[in-house]
Amino acid sequence: MEQLMTIHRTQVRGFVVVQVRGEVEALTAGRLGDAVTEALGDGRPVVLDLTDVRFLDSAGLETLVRVTENSELRRGEPLRIAVDQNRPVVRPIQITGLEERLALYDSVEDATSTTA
């Protein structure tokens, strides 16, 4: 599974940034959810960086909704998701209408430089 997706955690401007590379799908979506949930436990705002994701399926979309809801419950604000107009990520979000539900940003810089 490490070959399909890697997760790296950093800090930018007081935010925890969860960087994801690879494929977010049925085999890896659980790891993504766990990583974001753990990051939310730090008490700081979280940005999920999907700019290096090359595949996102329905399990990944489900996970994005779940971790966004978790962020809203824990922090009172949605999870900030950087997508960089990455077609393999943006297209499934648009097709499902989730762009209305998710807090999408064009970059990690945009997500960390604005207030909720």
Neighbours of 16 (CB within 10 A): 20
User: At 7, which amino acid appears?
Assistant: I
Tens digits of per-residue pLDDT, 75-114?
A: 999 999 999 887 899 999 999 999 999 999 999 999 999 7
Tens digits of per-residue pLDDT, 21-66?
A: 999 999 999 999 999 999 999 889 999 999 999 999 999 999 999 9
pTM for the structure as a whole:
0.94
Angstrom CA distances, 108 to 18, 27, 59, 81, 104, stand at 10, 25, 23, 8, 10
Angle subtended at Cα 48 by Cα 97 and Cα 82, rounded to the nearest 5 degrees: 60
Question: Which residues, other chains included, contact 51 with Cβ-Cβ below 8 Å and sequence gap of 6+?
Answer: 82, 83, 84, 86, 107, 108
Over 90: is that where the pLDDT of 3 sits?
A: no
